[in-house]
């Protein structure tokens, strides 16, 4: 899940949250002991998607902060280097600035995607 792609405490916490959400879905289905209709599954899926979208906001903010720290540092490094090294041109600095904007835009436009939901129906009394 997230912790396999991203490293850190936030990714780990969000992965745990996602697993708990899926566990709640499983409990809901098993407690009702009936076939889950398409409409009910769509409602459950919408709930999961909303929860994931809410989790993405702090992750996006953290990613933007980290990107700015790294990329702005690189831009400043190039600007300082251009002052003492004639092979570093303003075009190099401008290219870095364009790259920065592409990365910032990609982070701002990022959104979660739910690829699959695994539905497991269990008999009453089976272990979770």
Give yes or no for a contact between 121 and 29, defined as CB atoms under 8 angstroms apart.
yes
Give yes or no for a contact between 103 and 67, defined as CB atoms under 8 angstroms apart.
yes
Mean pLDDT of 22-33: 71
Residue 58 is given by DSSP the state: H
pLDDT tens for 40-90 read 778 877 887 787 777 788 888 888 999 999 999 999 999 999 999 999 999
pTM above 0.85, yes or no: no
């Amino acid at each position: 899940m997230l912790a396999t792609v991203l490293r850190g405490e936030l990714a780990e916490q969000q992965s745990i949250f996602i697993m708990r959400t899926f566990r709640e879905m499983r409990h809901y289905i098993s407690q009702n002991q009936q076939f889950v209709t398409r409409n009910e599954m769509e409602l459950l899926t919408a709930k999961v998607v909303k929860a994931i979208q809410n989790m993405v906001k702090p992750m996006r903010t953290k990613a933007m902060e980290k990107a700015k720290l790294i990329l702005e540092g690189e831009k400043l490094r190039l600007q300082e280097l251009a002052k003492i090294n004639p092979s570093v041109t303003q075009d190099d600095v401008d290219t870095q600035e364009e790259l920065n904007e592409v990365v910032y835009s990609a982070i701002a436009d990022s959104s979660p995607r739910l690829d699959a939901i695994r539905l497991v129906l269990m008999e009453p009394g089976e272990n979770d």
